[in-house]
Amino acid sequence: MIAQPKASHFVDGQYLEDASGAAFDVLFPGTGEPIARLHAATPAVIDAALASATRAQAEWARRRPVERGRVLARAAQIIRDRAEALAQLETLDTGKPVQETRVADWPSGADALEFFAGLAPTITGETIPLGGDMVYTLREPLGVCVGIGAWNYPSQIACWKSAPALAMGNAMVFKPSELTPLGALQLAEILVEAGLPAGLFNVVQGAGAVGAALVTDPRVAKVSLTGSVATGQKVYAAAAAGIRAVTMELGGKSPLVIFADADMDSAVGAAMLANFYSAGQVCSNGTRVFVERAALPAFLDRLKARSEAIVMGDPRDDTTQMGPLISDAQAAKVAQYIATGHAEGARLVTGGTVQGRFVPPTVFADVTDDMTIAREEIFGPVMAVLPFDTEPEVIARANATPYGLSAGVFTRDISRAHQVIAALEAGTCWINTYNLTPVEAPFGGSKLSGVGRENGRAAIEHYSQIKSVYIGMGPVEAPF
């Protein structure tokens, strides 16, 4: 099994190799086999990527938005034409089941390209009448943007960042996670095939040091990171030195609140989606599942039965519903959290036995707010179920976290649903569903979970800046 790309990097419209960069193997998480060997970007590669982006951006920004959109729309179509091959590659890169990569990863990336293709020509400024004089505004690109991705949705992240950036006339240099470097190279190829001029989307590989070198380069106007809070704090601080714009999509410990009047089958299904999809490696997961005490026995019974029916196995098999975690290190981290859950007195309902990188759907009940598994992001398929009695109580407990990425509520009481959501401190919320992130809707977090928004019209604001132009209509009245 080999998925060796033509070269490690994609710079100025073509693949680029520099074998003097540190070599690293890409492993298929399903078996641990190496599937490719790449080299981390050297300073020369980073410089070439930024130089080509800087060169290409000015001309791209002058193009009509409808022309920029046409390129992105073509790229979306190419992705759809190659859907199966891209899904298979994503599965090799991430270890996620093909069941998921066929419907979630590249399809969501294609949606983003299509959405921002259509949006590009609709972005306008405003005219501000001043009783004779007037001001008009222009929405201009920022320049060269850096995108840095996590390993859980590598191709989706590359598309979610590059689509609004390119639509607005920016260039992008993208650094994937070193664990999942393959999808972004495919995107670079596809964009060029779709007609994107050389230099506008470059991919450079490597670990955090390569990302750090990009963030502080004076040619860079903006940095968009998807990653952990700890990395976000470093990248945000580094970007601040150059007063660069940032988008930070970081981690979470999101609450999912289930009232006793909810449709219990849907609530159980949502709780499973919110914890077990992508083997729990989803930033917006609802990992603190608050269940109204009266509904707890029925909820746990159904949850246990359905969780134990999940098919875990080789992610390449069509029937597999849950694959491995991304790496040995991540599995060890999750195993440690499971051990801590036991040690701190949570009751294991199902799962808990880690075998290599494979972690089964794991549910702890009788979890209290102070337990480690209720406070820290685990990033694996470990659900904490916490009972509650009243609405004010559950709102206070749900908000008692430094994170604020997502939140969900299940109830048939329409007023209660809206009141609870209004009171929850989170950027992305769901009522009677969970973890749906269509490109049409803004996505992002509050508190430690991030700044800025991806997707929707809102993303345009984070890849553009406003120029105000004052037009004087009469003679200048100078006081001297």
User: Smallest distance from the beta carbon of 437 to ligand NDP, in angstroms?
Assistant: 9
DSSP one-letter code for 295:
G
Q: Coil, strand or helix: which one is 157? A: helix
In angstroms, the CA 104 to CA 41 distance is 29
Q: Which of 177, 307, 401, 435 binds ligand NDP (CB under 6 A)?
A: 177
Tell me whether residue 198 or residue 451 sits nearer to ligand NDP (CB atom).
Answer: 451
Residue 119 makes contact with ligand NDP by CB under 6 A = no
Tell me whether residue 91 or residue 180 sits nearer to ligand NDP (CB atom).
Answer: 180
Tell me whether residue 177 or residue 186 sits nearer to ligand NDP (CB atom).
Answer: 177
From the list 7, 5, 3, 39, the residue with the least C-alpha distance to 21 is 39
User: Smallest distance from the beta carbon of 352 to ligand NDP, in angstroms?
Assistant: 22
In angstroms, the CA 37 to CA 8 distance is 8
Tell me whether residue 148 or residue 194 sits nearer to ligand NDP (CB atom).
Answer: 148
Within positions 427 to 456, which residues make up the interface with ligand NDP, using CB under 6 A?
A: 445, 450
Answer yes or no: are the C-beta atoms of 89 and 316 closer than 8 Å. Answer: no
Residue 194 makes contact with ligand NDP by CB under 6 A = no
In angstroms, the CA 316 to CA 97 distance is 6
Residue 234 makes contact with ligand NDP by CB under 6 A = yes
User: Smallest distance from the beta carbon of 43 to ligand NDP, in angstroms?
Assistant: 15
**Which tokens is 363 given?**
């549910």
Question: What track of x and - describes contact with ligand NDP for positions 238 through 257 (by CB under 6 A)?
Answer: -----------xxx------
From the list 464, 472, 468, the residue with the least C-alpha distance to 145 is 464
From the list 88, 59, 46, the residue with the least C-alpha distance to 186 is 88
Residue 377 makes contact with ligand NDP by CB under 6 A = yes
Tell me whether residue 189 or residue 377 sits nearer to ligand NDP (CB atom).
Answer: 377
Tell me whether residue 60 or residue 443 sits nearer to ligand NDP (CB atom).
Answer: 443
Q: Which of 34, 118, 121, 208 binds ligand NDP (CB under 6 A)?
A: 208
Q: Which residues are catalytic?
A: 161, 249, 283, 454
Residue 185 makes contact with ligand NDP by CB under 6 A = no
From the list 364, 429, 360, 454, the residue with the least C-alpha distance to 159 is 454
Answer yes or no: are the C-beta atoms of 65 and 167 closer than 8 Å. Answer: yes
Residue 380 makes contact with ligand NDP by CB under 6 A = no
Answer yes or no: are the C-beta atoms of 262 and 299 closer than 8 Å. Answer: no
CA dihedral for 309, 94, 188, 200, sign (positive or negative): positive
Question: What track of x and - describes contact with ligand NDP for positions 261 through 300 (by CB under 6 A)?
Answer: ----------------------x-----------------
User: Smallest distance from the beta carbon of 179 to ligand NDP, in angstroms?
Assistant: 6
From the list 431, 418, 103, 436, the residue with the least C-alpha distance to 267 is 431
- Stated as kind and residue range, the H or E segment containing 47 is helix 43-62
> In the chain, how many H helices and how many E strands?
16, 22
Residue 211 makes contact with ligand NDP by CB under 6 A = yes
Question: What track of x and - describes contact with ligand NDP for positions 133 through 162 (by CB under 6 A)?
Answer: ---------------xxxxx----------
Residue with the shortest CB distance to ligand NDP: 211
Residue 100 makes contact with ligand NDP by CB under 6 A = no
Tell me whether residue 13 or residue 252 sits nearer to ligand NDP (CB atom).
Answer: 252
Q: Coil, strand or helix: which one is 71? A: helix
Q: Residue 432, CB half-sphere, CA atoms under 13 Å: how many?
A: 13
Residue 235 makes contact with ligand NDP by CB under 6 A = yes
Residues in the interface with ligand NDP (CB under 6 A) total 28
Task: Tell me whether residue 62 is exposed, middle or buried, using C-beta atoms within 10 angstroms of its C-beta: 0 to 12, 13 to 18, 19 or more.
Answer: exposed
Tell me whether residue 49 or residue 71 sits nearer to ligand NDP (CB atom).
Answer: 49
Q: Where are the alpha helices (DSSP H) in 63-104?
A: 65-81, 83-94, 98-100
User: Which residues does residue 410 pair with via DSSP β-bridges, in sequence order?
Assistant: 258
Tally of residues, the chain: 480
Q: Which of 60, 116, 201, 379 binds ligand NDP (CB under 6 A)?
A: 379
Residue ranges binding ligand NDP (CB under 6 A): 148-152, 175, 177-178, 207-208, 211-212, 215, 226-228, 231, 234-235, 249-251, 283, 377, 379, 405, 445, 450
